Structure 1
Amino acid sequence: MTELGDLDAFVAVAEARSFRGAGKLRGVPASSLSDAVRRLEERLGVRLLNRTTRSVTATEAGGRLLERLVPALGEVGAALDMVNDYRDSPTGTLRLNAPIGVTRLILPRIVPAFLAAHPGITLELSSEDRFIDVLAAGFDAGIRYEERLEQDMIAVPIGPRIERFACGAAPAYLDARGRPEHPRDILHHACIRHRFASGVTINTWEFECDGEIVRVTPDGPFIGTDAAIELDVAIAGIGLIFAFEGLLAPSFAEGSLEPVLPDWWQRFSGPFLYYPSRRLMPAPLRAFVDFIKRA
């Protein structure tokens, strides 16, 4: 019988189309995966992967094997995971993908208590604002806002159900440049903008009051990819910042930032934990879902 570990290594490399990428996702050296795939090919007597310096792709035989292996290995993993039902507390690894804002503002209130309640679970958390296929990337579940949810996923609310985008600036900046009285006044101000890791820049700030929605296109001397740096730049008096209210709230409380147009801060629904509909859910994920439902 072929070792399950070698079969699993083949699936990981074939899906990632890269030994290095698969190794990064699995937390193992790429050389270990290469050795496993080579052993598998020698046992079967057929090449499963085409390797070049730039890419790794499945051969016809490899593709046919992959189609059958993915559901089969999923069933094996689920069968082994059933043992967790006989433990006082489940064990295993839970792999989550979440936006940076959620990681900073919501998960710190949840993760420590969850891990304390389930000492046998290891949580691997990846924080990024790119919109990816979390399942194809090897995660058990993801956290996203409603407009980014896949339609065929199960979604469970996590964290506050209502959030707001807030706008603020350093008092010294507002003393020098004036305080906006309407969102359109922002067009005459320096603004601090955000660019996602994907390269997309937030080009529109949206405000709402009494049913009226106003969208403005900000301009200014600074574009950042890190909210913490953008906050520092705003506190230094460079311009207006537009971000999650939770991110700016401590600065409002201490007075280093002053709220701008608070009556116009737009509300939106909070995030959701989402995961595929499966007959057998991994025990660590089931424990996390149950935990946030009780929170």
Structure 2
Amino acid sequence: MVLLSLIIRSISNSLFCMKNNVSPNDLQVFLTVLNEGGFRAAAKRLGIAPSKVSTTVSRIEKQLGVPLLLRTTRSLRATDQGHRLAERIQPLMTEMDAACFEAANSADHIQGYLRLNVPGAVVPDILPPLIAELQRRHPKVQVEIVVENSLVDIIAAGCDAGIRYGDSIQKDMISLPIGPRLQQIALAASPSYVKQHGLPRDPQELTDHRAIRYRLPDGMLIPWSLRRGDETANIVEFTTSLVLSANALNAGLNYVRAGLGIIGTFRNWLESDFRAGTLTPVLPDWWAELEGPRLYYPSRFTSSALRAFIDVCRSEATTV
């Protein structure tokens, strides 16, 4: 409670010294409008009428004597003054929220909302046991999973933490591994495809086969990078039978089972099919390894729900 009092006093001093004593509650409405991208979305998030949101922002602008938002019937964006104001007060508001969460939740009674931004690659098998364990320990924690394969600013996106692979994680974030430390990208085909077309004997022969490919949000088709010892092979030219969005990573399994071609995807997604004989490994000596996914989050202002999830990830890591 001493920590909470100090934070609130610091925030109050900062905010109430502003021209005309703008209310911290009004400023929170203003931030929500920016974070949610509009008055109606902010009203829904805050549980108040859109008209009240609009009136609140107008009141702040009148008190400060400067415009904060540029509005049209179709769009909304911050003015330079609004952008600078948001940059200054967002950390203060976030710190106050975190302090209130900490005061309201003891180690034995954690509750709240956890919003994770994750790639589709972790949704089918890596994330479910972690979320299940979190809610087994803390059943009052509500989790929302936002699936995006492109790199996003998790703070701007309104998320508490993200999951990504390797070098794509921003340097100013704290990160820790989740799931397998290493994953393989495996190639597979259905028995019916193999019966009709045979199996390639080396990576060069892949160009003669039909492939199921994935396209990234920037439009690039993902190449197949193969490795055997010191040898590497990057296959970029295929007879492509099907292209899928990277947002539908696990959907490709249904198409490869149907015999449309060879697929390159995570080995852990294919293991049950390999055991059942519904898919056949292709060039297993050439399957490349990559570092497994990592949970990342800002270095400060973690909520009790996020801290609980971090604890789950760390404890589960000992079993991998």
> Same fold, TM exceeding 0.5?
yes
What's the TM-score once normalised by structure 1's chain length? 0.89
Offset, 1:135:
1.5
1:57 aligns with 2:74: no
Equivalent residue, structure 1, for 2:14: none
Offset, 1:256:
1.3
Sequence identity percentage: 35
Gaps of 5+ in 2: 1-20
Q: Could you say if the C-alpha distance between residues 13 and 172 of structure 1 is closer, same or farther in structure 2, counting changes exceeding 3 Å?
A: same
Q: Could you say if the C-alpha distance between residues 239 and 11 of structure 1 is closer, same or farther in structure 2, counting changes exceeding 3 Å?
A: same
Equivalent residue, structure 2, for 1:187: 207
Counterpart Cα distance in 1 of 2:151 and 2:273: 29
Offset, 1:267:
0.7
Equivalent residue, structure 1, for 2:224: 205
The aligned amino acid for 1:170 is: S
Asked whether the equivalents of residues 2 and 40 of structure 1 are also in contact (C-alpha less than 8 Å), the reply is: no
Paired residue total: 290
Equivalent residue, structure 2, for 1:227: 249
Within a 5 Å distance, the mapping from 1:84-123 to structure 2 comes to: 84=104, 86=106, 88-123=108-143
Asked whether the equivalents of residues 192 and 230 of structure 1 are also in contact (C-alpha less than 8 Å), the reply is: yes
Counterpart Cα distance in 2 of 1:153 and 1:34: 37
Equivalent residue, structure 2, for 1:171: 191
CA deviation map 1:165-193 (0-9, x unaligned): 01010112112112111111100000011
The aligned amino acid for 1:231 is: L
Gaps of 5+ in 1: none
Q: Could you say if the C-alpha distance between residues 119 and 221 of structure 1 is closer, same or farther in structure 2, counting changes exceeding 3 Å?
A: same
Counterpart Cα distance in 2 of 1:286 and 1:48: 34
Counterpart Cα distance in 2 of 1:265 and 1:85: 46
Counterpart Cα distance in 1 of 2:283 and 2:42: 48
Asked whether the equivalents of residues 96 and 140 of structure 1 are also in contact (C-alpha less than 8 Å), the reply is: yes
Equivalent of residue 241 in structure 1, options 254, 263, 279: 263
Offset, 1:139:
0.6
Within a 5 Å distance, the mapping from 1:1-295 to structure 2 comes to: 4-19=24-39, 22-23=41-42, 27=45, 32-33=49-50, 35-42=52-59, 45=62, 46=65, 47-84=67-104, 86=106, 88-196=108-216, 198-217=217-236, 218-225=238-245, 226-278=248-300, 280-295=301-316
Structure 1 ranges of 4+ moved more than 4 A? 1-5, 26-29
The aligned amino acid for 1:126 is: V
Q: Could you say if the C-alpha distance between residues 224 and 60 of structure 1 is closer, same or farther in structure 2, counting changes exceeding 3 Å?
A: closer
